[in-house]
Amino acid sequence: MSAGLAGTRRSTGWLVLALVCACQFMVILDASIVNVALPSIRRDLGFSPAGLSWVVNGYLLTFAGFMLLGGRAADLFGHRRMLVAGLVVFSASSLAAGLATGPEILVAARLVQGLGAAMLAPATVAVISVGFAEGPDRARAFGAWSASGGVGGMAGAVAGGALTTGLSWRWIFLVNVPIGAALVAVALIALSRTGSRRREPLDVAGAATGTAGLASFVYGVSAGHGGAVVVGLLLIVAFVALEARAARPMVPLRLFRIRGVAVGNAMLLLFGAIAIAMWYFTSLLLQNVFGYSALRAGLGQTPAAVMFVVTARAAAALLPRTGVRGRILAGCVGFVAGFGWLAAGSGGYLTGVLGPTLLVAAGIGLVFPSLMAAATADAAGGDAGTVGGLASTASQVGGSVGLAVLTAVAGGSSYGRVFLVAAGIGVALAAASVLLPGRRGEGFSG
């Protein structure tokens, strides 16, 4: 444990890790759990087809758009304060969503829920970066954190189907309330001395342009609105110009002089598209080609989720022998082989889906925690939240852009083309890994 947990008993390290993993699980779960409940939500609340998409997109939009701000706020006001505040906002908005009496109330609650997630996600990364020593300890923590997010994403279809069928769609939101309350209690105990308030003002101009730029860009890409994309890009350019001149910027541009931060975040953008291609398009393949129900499709992807969890945890054990580069290259082999196999489109479930998705899931388990570790390794403790926000934003924006691009590539139902493009992205990731900084001694990279 590093100074980030100074004064905290060493024996509470497992409690800190369990806390951040539970938070990550809940945040990612709520990005996917609503999918199978959408027909029930539409019937009960009278959504239009276009309006219904905002039950999903509203959450993702504020989640991606506010993560940089959430990361900087964690550095300024303390990781503990921001994590607890995020849990309170997330839980309260979940309660409002579960009790919603009309479409507008539910969409508004989902927008606020995404804001809570944007406060939580970078705070969990910061707690790991500050609270676990660089090297094997931090790599194991990121492995567990990554695995919990993967399980959350995959559990969404199964949990959503079970709750909607057995109780009501409202319980996919209401279940967060007692869980959130319990996590707040744990955070107040386990993180009592983690993070300290810094006497610096928030960069209001940077926060406004950066947040608006990301939100506009993600909205434009996901909705196919070219004007919003252009506005988003212009605001992002303005954000960079403001940050270069600001005395206390929201995202200090000096961070990008750290090679791990710059290269790691660029690779996380590519990785986001890989993850989307795996979970989203194989789910569609199972439903639209194999004729599975949403619940059965979720169960059909469960073996891959288990593989992801096992591999992400094993990646930490491989650290001293392989380093970051070795694990990323091994993961990219899994991407290329698995997506190439999926693109061939031969056989039934066992040979046409299960086999290749196990390969891809193993690759994700190796690559994601490795990239998160690389992208946050050399940041000072006072910048941990900002760097965590950058890494989380890169992965989320990469997934949003990747989804839009790959959906266009699919053109309706040509999943083979999607999987071939994903294999090409895997090759690009492998090539980019040589740019990551090498670090001997701790086996962090090599």
All domains of the chain in start order, with CATH: 1-202 (1.20.1250.20), 256-446 (1.20.1250.20)
Residue segments in the chain with a per-residue pLDDT below the cut of 50? 1-11, 194-196, 440-446
Structure tokens at 359: 């390969």
Q: Among 197, 183, 207, 159, which residue's Cα sits nearest to residue 36?
A: 159
Structure tokens at 435: 């740019």
Identify the pLDDT of residue 425: 92
Identify the pLDDT of residue 273: 82
- E strands, 3-67, are none
Identify the pLDDT of residue 294: 64
- How far is the CA of 318 from the CAs of 53, 127, 263, in angstroms? 41, 23, 22
Identify the pLDDT of residue 225: 82
How high does pLDDT run on average in the chain? 79
Question: What does the radius of gyration of the chain's CA atoms come to, in whole angstroms?
Answer: 20
Q: Among 340, 43, 267, which residue's Cα sits nearest to residue 170?
A: 43
pTM, to two decimals: 0.73
Tokens 């969890």 identify what position? Answer: 309
**Most distant CA pair in the chain: distance in Å?**
62
How many residues appear in the chain? 446
pLDDT in tens, 278-315: 777 887 788 778 888 766 777 888 888 888 878 877 77
Long-range contacts, 402-407 (Cβ 8 Å, 24+): 402/272, 402/273, 402/274, 402/275, 402/276, 402/277, 403/222, 403/273, 403/276, 403/280, 404/221, 404/222, 404/224, 405/273, 406/273, 406/276, 406/277, 406/281
* Helix ranges (DSSP H) in 191-225: 204-223
CA 412 to chain CA centroid, Å, is 26
End-to-end CA separation in angstroms for the chain: 24
Identify the pLDDT of residue 332: 92
Q: Among 216, 320, 335, 334, which residue's Cα sits nearest to residue 277?
A: 335
